[in-house]
Amino acid sequence: MGPAFLPQLVNGPFDDPALYVHFRHQNRAMLFDLGDLGALAARDILKITHIFVTHTHMDHFAGFDRVLRLFLGRDKDLYLYGPQGFLANLRGKLAGYCWNLVTNYHNRFTLHATEVHRDRSLCCSFHCRSGFAADAEIREIPFDGVILDEPAVTVHAVHLDHGIPVLAFALAEAFHINIIKESLERLALPPGPWLNRFKAMLYGGVDPQTKVALPTAPRTKAKDDVSLGELSKAITRISPGQRLAYIADAAGTPENIRKMIALAGGVDRLFVEAAFSHSHREIARKKRHLTARQAGEIARACRVKQFSLFHFSPRYSDCPELLQAEAEKAFSGDL
């Protein structure tokens, strides 16, 4: 019955932004922003399949080198997304190293990068064995707010203003499949990889009459195969999917806030920056960041179940509780 996504902020509130989202019961994770990743174990970084970058200010992109170093020499496809200028920034990162030895590698490690504009996305791949030379042709596809669309999960993005274009993201599970442990035990069906294949069929909308091959075991009480619909009724409970949103480095303008609420409305958990106190709102305005009060008000307007603050200005290093209290007061409507 646990959630599908297990999100954790990689660093403390005064350190580089990065949100690591592990997928329960899968050897998979996603990353939102690429700040310093020193706190993440190599085995966790290697689970990452997709990285979503709000913008390429250093504190949001410096962790790219560690990811690249760990993925070298492996058969991996890594997908990265960022705002306008992202492809040029990525090329610059890759061009900072000599790649004369990669022709000896036998793996097919490839970076697949997408630069998201307001009406279109530009896609390009960088192949390790060619020294990360970019594809000769950049592919252009329409952008309608969705940057990742899989049967089980989608990622939406919206452009915000931070003096430069930045992206905010929402991760959504199509629906949640709860495996009823007692039903498995009653049918003497063991847990295992077959359950992931079974879930993939449900997420993929496979015909309920399709037969599902069950694991064979001496104690199994179910038939060797059963229809997808029958099995789903017997061992699952379907519930609404989990939803998360991630917002960092954006001015607290009416237009930005309108877009944030449209993106994150109704999410289970909102990760939102709170760089300054409301008492320093003029500094926040000039630096194009949110205040803690604005973060709480946005969370309230979105009707979130839970919100987490990050990206505090160092000026509050001796009183971080001030920002938390300000946001919670705004969230409760007690202003």
Both 203 and 234 in one domain: the answer is yes
Q: Are residues 84 and 226 in the same domain?
A: no
Residues 89 and 121 in one domain: yes
d(CA 109, CA 76): 5
Structural domain boundaries, residue 70: 5-174+241-329
Check whether residue 255 and residue 298 sit in a common domain: yes
Res. 250 pLDDT band, cuts 50 70 90: very high
Q: Does 57 score more than 70 pLDDT?
A: yes
Q: Place 252 in a pLDDT band, splitting at 50, 70 and 90.
A: very high
Specify the DSSP class assigned to residue 242: P
Which residue would you say has higher pLDDT here, 194 or 254? 254
Q: Are residues 227 and 314 in the same domain?
A: no
- The CA distance from 99 to 111, in Å, is 15
Q: Which two tokens stand for residue 50?
A: 């997709």
Write out pLDDT tens, residues 4-54. 899 999 999 999 999 999 998 889 999 999 999 999 999 999 999 999 999
Residues recorded for the chain? 335
